[in-house]
């Protein structure tokens, strides 16, 4: 299919695009909630692409370009769900038909493919409206034509098309007043932009997306939450009805004239012998009967009650909103997947990656605070070098925010137990701060240069050292020996509990041996061990 890109590379890029959309389908679905949901835009588009990928995977090695195009168009038609899926199938059909006479994937290939996709997709919709997935496609076709006229190379052309796709999505509210009034964009167009972006990235070897999709929500429109129904019109009918029609002969014009008499949002696409029908109707039985009495067979029948879908979606959104309107939320800083999971289990909403040598900025902390859906947010910096940045983030936050000045992850564990949901923000900050005052934290790491410990003893580069509140209290050749010395220096005889967090460089066997030696030396000390997986520090411990 291409001199620069093999048929296999193109098929793999299609599969990558399908996977990307599948991973983002829930985000696209969340856009499609107004006024009545015709299924889920992201799910329907994703299902359409899944069938395409299945068809491509079934092709024999060495399949011709014609075989590949047939697999795409047939798979898209057969797998199409909902209006968004049907329109997507027609876009794919047009791309295949337009590129049929081009053997190299260059700007001429892209111009012809997108021009034909625009023709086919617009022909499928009885009443095209600007501000929808069709508008995004139209703008992409214009970008492809510009790329050809400017004689761009293929990669530059693909990037131009993807850029225009995202820009077009941002403009959709300018065409539909109802979208602008609600501060929303078109979900189908958004899904199409993701598809094109992922395809181009996979084909050219570019990592990541060309444009952050969420930029749509941060620029020209204030908020991405809902979208006008992607069927272009609100539907007064109850049942979304879609099925395949198999007929050797079908009067397409008569069928297209019949469907509007049964409802709205009607589509009949495909060609002999396979067609896809989609319509919103109160009498799906009569829609099916029409085709059955016109020498056709039907299959893959899907009938959805949109009123029940809408009610279920509304309940789900209400539940999400109720769940998100909690009085307090928490942001904590920590390194290591284990520490992150422990903090989340204690109720922390967002864990910012960082700590010693990895201090997050004020902006990073502020961004984390803004992610938390709560009336007030409490930050646990877990490092003395991060406390000031946390305080600055609180001052900049538009929502009430406080800092519990923890200087270690173990302190945060104890501080969380001091939280009282019934108390005020100020009282909680005070109580949580008091809760960790008796926690003593020690850290075991490796010296990176020659130095001296707190008692003026020499330290050599590579020595294992034990630190308590910035003071080097133990030096040795092994993590195990230094840990035992450090526990003793921290007055373990006076403590009730010892929390141990194993770092990523300490294996389970060595960790178990350390625990055994502490238990032997301090039989009355309760040990609470975890895999913190923090870097640089094989062991972090606390006593209280």
Q: In the prediction, which pLDDT does 227 show?
A: 33
Does the residue 354 lie in any domain? Answer: yes
Same domain, 169 and 89: yes
Supply 303's token pair: 């009938």
Whole-angstrom CA distances from 465 to 44, 77, 211, 471, 482 are: 58, 66, 46, 10, 6
Closest CA to 88 of 128, 124, 39: 124
Report the distance separating Cα 489 and Cα 401, nearest Å.
37
* Within a domain: 315: no
Name residue, tokens 């195990």: 480
Per-residue pLDDT for 208 more than 70?
no
Domain identity same for 407 and 334:
yes
Structure tokens at 146: 């510009």
pLDDT band for position 33 (50/70/90)?
Answer: very low
Distance CA 310, CA 498 (A): 53
The reply to whether 413 and 488 lie within a common domain is: no
Q: How confident is the model at residue 28 (pLDDT cuts 50, 70, 90)?
A: confident
User: pLDDT averaged over the chain?
Assistant: 87
Mean pLDDT computed over 159-177: 89
Rounded Cα gap, residues 328 and 421, in angstroms: 7
Report the CATH number that the domain containing residue 332 is assigned in CATH. 3.40.50.510
Is the bond preceding residue 35 a cis peptide, omega within 30 degrees? yes
Q: Does 417 fall in a domain?
A: yes
Q: Count other C-beta atoms under 10 Å from residue 470's C-beta.
A: 9
223: pLDDT strictly greater than 60 = no
Task: Check residue 469 and give its pLDDT.
Answer: 85
3-class state of residue 505 by DSSP: coil
pLDDT at 360: 86
Helix (H/G/I), strand (E/B), else coil: 274: strand
The C-alpha angle with vertex 411 and arms to 463 and 323, in degrees rounded to 5, equals: 135
Residues sharing a CB contact under 8 Å with residue 120, sequence separation 6 or more, in sequence order:
90, 91, 93, 94, 97
Same domain, 182 and 273: no
- Say yes or no: 259 and 284 in one domain: yes
Whether 104 maps to a domain, the answer reads yes
pLDDT surpasses 70 at 321: no
Backbone φ and ψ of 309, nearest 5°: -60, -45
In this structure, the answer to whether residues 300 and 332 fall within a common structural domain is: no
Residue 318 maps to a domain: no
Lowest mean pLDDT among 27-31, 250-254, 259-263: 27-31
Q: Say which residue the tokens 């030696």 belong to.
A: 517
Non-local CB neighbours of 456 within 8 Å, separated by 6+ positions: none
Contact 466, 443 (CB under 8 A): yes
Query: Does 496 have pLDDT greater than 90?
Result: yes
The CATH number of residue 506's host domain is 3.30.1180
d(Cα 308, Cα 489) in Å, to the nearest integer? Answer: 66
Q: Which of 3-17, 58-72, 320-334 has the lowest mean pLDDT?
A: 320-334
Check which CATH number belongs to the domain holding 22 and give it. Answer: 1.25.40.340
Q: What is the pLDDT of residue 231?
A: 38
Name, in order, each residue with C-beta under 8 angstroms of 428's C-beta and a sequence gap of 6 or more: 328, 378, 402, 418, 419, 420
Query: Is the pLDDT confidence value at 24 over 70?
Result: yes
Question: What tokens appear for 203 in the block?
Answer: 């084909």
pLDDT of 305: 86
Query: Residue 299 forms beta bridges with which residues?
Result: 244
How high is the pLDDT of residue 224? 33
Report yes or no: 277 and 262 within 8 Å, Cβ to Cβ: no
The pLDDT tens digits for 375-399 are: 999 999 999 889 988 998 999 999 8
31 and 159 inside one domain? yes
Measured distance CA(405)–CA(380) in Å, rounded: 6
pLDDT digits over 418-473, tens only?
Answer: 999 999 999 999 999 999 999 999 999 999 888 888 888 899 999 999 999 888 99
Distance CA 270, CA 74 (A): 9
User: What pLDDT does 449 receive?
Assistant: 86
> DSSP letter string over 172-227?
HHHH-HHHHHHT---HHHHHHHHHHHHHHHHHHT--S-SS-TTHHHHTTSS--S--
Reported as half-sphere exposure (CB side, CA atoms, 13 A), residue 543 has a value of 22
Asked whether residue 454 falls in the same domain as residue 514, the answer is yes
Separation of alpha carbons 100 and 103, rounded Å: 8
Predicted local confidence at residue 187, as pLDDT: 85
Phi, psi for 356 (deg, rounded to 5): -60, 130
Does residue 314 fall inside a structural domain?
Answer: no
Cα dihedral across residues 455, 529, 435, 403: positive or negative:
positive
Q: Model confidence at 58, in pLDDT bands (50, 70, 90)?
A: very high
Using CA of residue 369, residue 371, residue 376, residue 382, what is the dihedral sign?
A: negative
Same domain, 478 and 532: yes
Q: Compare 323 and 294 and report the one with higher pLDDT.
A: 294
Using a pLDDT cut of 90, give the percent of the chain over it. Answer: 63
Q: Do 20 and 151 fall within a single domain?
A: yes
Cα angle 243, 247, 248; round to 5: 160
pLDDT of residue 6: 87
Is 422 found in the same domain as 358?
yes
Output the pLDDT for position 225. Answer: 34
β-strand partners of 136: none
Find the domain containing 261 and state its range.
Answer: 239-309
260 φ, ψ (degrees, to nearest 5): -65, -20
Q: DSSP 3-state assignment of 383?
A: coil
Domain edge (last residue) among 376, 400, 435: 435
- Is residue 500 predicted with pLDDT exceeding 50? yes
Residue 234 has pLDDT above 90, yes or no: no
pLDDT at 258 over 60: yes
CATH number at residue 273: 3.30.70
What pLDDT is stored for residue 167 in this prediction? Answer: 93
Domains: count for the chain: 4
How many CA atoms within 13 Å lie on the side-chain side of 67?
A: 13
Residues 6+ apart with CB under 8 A from 291: 245, 247, 255, 277, 298
Backbone angles phi, psi at 329, to 5 degrees: -135, 165
pLDDT in tens, 261-316: 999 888 898 888 999 999 999 999 999 999 999 889 999 898 888 877 767 766 76
| Inter-residue contact 190 to 229 (CB < 8 Å) | no
Residue 221 confidence (pLDDT): 35
Helix (H) or strand (E) holding 93: helix 82-99
Residue 1 lies in a domain: no
Q: What is the pLDDT of residue 237?
A: 86
The mean pLDDT value for 480-487 works out to: 96
Answer yes or no: is pLDDT of 229 > 60.
Answer: no
Residue 2 has pLDDT above 50, yes or no: no
Question: Among 309, 336, 359, which residue terminates a domain?
Answer: 309
* Cis peptide bond N-terminal to 273, omega within 30: yes
Sort strands 497-502 and 374-380 into parallel, antiparallel or unpaired: unpaired
C-alpha–C-alpha distance, residues 442 and 407, integer Å: 11
Enter the pTM of the model: 0.53
Identify whether the C-beta of residue 82 lies closer than 8 Å to the C-beta of residue 41: yes
| 417 pLDDT higher than 50 | yes
pLDDT digits (tens, 9 = 90+) for 334-378: 999 999 999 999 999 999 998 766 788 888 899 999 999 899 999
Task: List the beta bridge partners of residue 466.
Answer: 444, 474
Domain co-membership, 506 together with 474: yes
Does some domain include residue 257? yes
Mean pLDDT within 480-492: 95
Final residue before a domain boundary, out of 435, 451, 470: 435
């Amino acid at each position: 299919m291409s001199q620069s890109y093999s048929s296999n590379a193109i098929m793999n890029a299609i599969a990558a695009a399908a996977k990307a959309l599948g991973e983002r389908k829930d985000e696209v679905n969340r856009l499609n909630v107004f006024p009545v949901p015709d299924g889920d835009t992201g799910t329907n588009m994703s299902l359409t692409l899944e069938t395409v990928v299945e068809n491509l995977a079934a092709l024999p090695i060495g399949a011709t370009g014609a075989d590949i195009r047939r697999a795409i168009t047939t798979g898209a038609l057969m797998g199409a769900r909902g209006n968004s899926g049907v329109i997507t199938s027609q876009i794919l059909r047009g791309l295949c038909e337009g590129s049929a006479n081009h053997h190299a994937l260059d700007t001429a290939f892209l111009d012809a493919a997108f021009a034909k996709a625009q023709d086919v997709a617009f022909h499928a919709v009885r009443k095209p409206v600007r501000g929808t997935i069709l508008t995004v496609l139209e703008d992409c076709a214009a970008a492809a034509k510009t790329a050809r006229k400017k004689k761009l190379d293929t990669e530059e052309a693909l990037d131009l098309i993807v850029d225009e796709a995202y820009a077009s999505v941002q403009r959709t509210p300018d065409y539909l007043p109802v979208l602008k009034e609600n501060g929303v964009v078109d979900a189908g167009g958004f899904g199409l932009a993701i598809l094109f972006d992922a395809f181009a990235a996979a084909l050219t070897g570019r990592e990541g997306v060309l444009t952050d999709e969420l930029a749509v929500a941060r620029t020209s429109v204030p908020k991405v939450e809902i979208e006008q129904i992607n069927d272009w019109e609100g539907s007064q009918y109850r049942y979304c009805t879609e099925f395949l029609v198999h007929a050797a002969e079908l009067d397409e014009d008569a069928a297209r004239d019949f469907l509007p008499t049964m409802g709205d949002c009607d589509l009949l696409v495909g060609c002999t012998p396979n067609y896809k029908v989609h319509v919103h109707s109160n009498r799906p039985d009569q829609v099916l009967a029409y085709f059955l009495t016109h020498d056709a067979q039907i299959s893959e029948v899907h009938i959805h009650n949109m009123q029940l879908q809408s009610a279920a979606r509304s309940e789900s959104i209400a539940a999400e909103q109720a769940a998100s309107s909690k009085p307090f939320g928490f942001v904590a800083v920590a390194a290591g997947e284990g520490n992150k999971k422990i903090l989340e289990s204690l109720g922390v909403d967002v864990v910012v990656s960082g700590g010693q040598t990895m201090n997050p900025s004020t902006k990073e902390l502020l961004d984390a605070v803004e992610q938390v859906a709560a009336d007030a947010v409490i930050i646990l910096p877990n490092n003395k070098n991060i406390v000031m940045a946390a305080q600055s983030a609180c001052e900049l936050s538009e929502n009430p925010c406080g800092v519990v000045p923890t200087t270690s992850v173990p302190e945060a564990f104890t501080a969380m137990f001091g939280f009282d949901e019934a108390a005020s923000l100020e009282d909680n900050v005070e109580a949580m701060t008091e809760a960790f005052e008796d926690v003593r934290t020690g850290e075991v790491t490796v010296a990176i240069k020659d130095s001296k410990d707190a008692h003026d003893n020499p330290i050599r580069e590579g020595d294992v050292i034990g630190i308590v509140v910035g003071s080097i209290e133990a030096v040795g050749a092994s993590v195990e020996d230094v840990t035992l010395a450090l526990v003793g220096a921290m007055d373990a005889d006076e403590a009730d509990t010892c929390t141990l967090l194993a770092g990523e460089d300490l294996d389970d066997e060595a960790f178990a041996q350390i625990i055994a030696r502490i238990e032997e030396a301090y039989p009355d000390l309760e040990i609470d061990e975890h895999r913190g997986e923090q870097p640089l520090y094989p062991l972090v411990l606390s006593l209280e």
